[in-house]
Structure 1
Amino acid sequence: MEVFLQWGIMLLGILGVVQLGELLSIWLRRPKKRPASFCVMPLHGSIGNVEQVLTYFQEVALWSPEVQLAFVIDCGLEEHSALACKEWCNQKNRLIFCTQKEFEDICKGFQDRVY
């Protein structure tokens, strides 16, 4: 019984050393600069309660520690909904309201650093 216990402990020790090596190699190969990350919420059509939808999205975006920017993208919103979204986003610092073309232009700067 002691021999099985010793073999089991030795096997677990070897697996622990392998896991430690893997963790060290991942840490050494990490990117020097943290890649940009952002949340995106595409909207289209008519939105009944703009404040509720955007407040929820803002809370979700703020909850994630990796998120640096949060975008609300106009993918064919009706005029009154688009104006309400733009007005709401202008009052908040974390949400950026833009069209699809503007979002593509913004992403071109991050294209080389996205993984």
Structure 2
Amino acid sequence: MTRLDTPRGYRVLLVEDEYFIAMELADLFRRRGAEVLGPVPTVDQALDLIAATSRLDGAVLDINLHGEMAYDVADVLEARKVPFVFATGYDREVLPPRFAGARVCNKPVVAEQVVRALLG
């Protein structure tokens, strides 16, 4: 089996302010055996979770969290060498140049596509 099939023990941070999207992603990761941190709807909550976590294997980030951009979270994840995917309604062109190579899933997202983008 591939890591995509069974991310048992995979620790994933979900940063999403849309409740139903957050719950759908959390449910899918959990059903696949991952440990879900969050979901959290704010940059501050995400940064607090990251700071309190010794091991993080991946993350899914909405770019716009109630008007606050999640780029600070992405910067911290990159510094820790944690892979992440942006799940967003924005076009790739809005990303700052430092995230030009980032993985992006455009909303409306299909949870399975987000998992594939992160783990595949």
TM range (shorter): 0.3 to 0.5
Indicate the structure with greater helix content: 1
Indicate the structure with greater strand content: 2
Larger Rg: 1
TM-score normalized with structure 1 length: 0.36
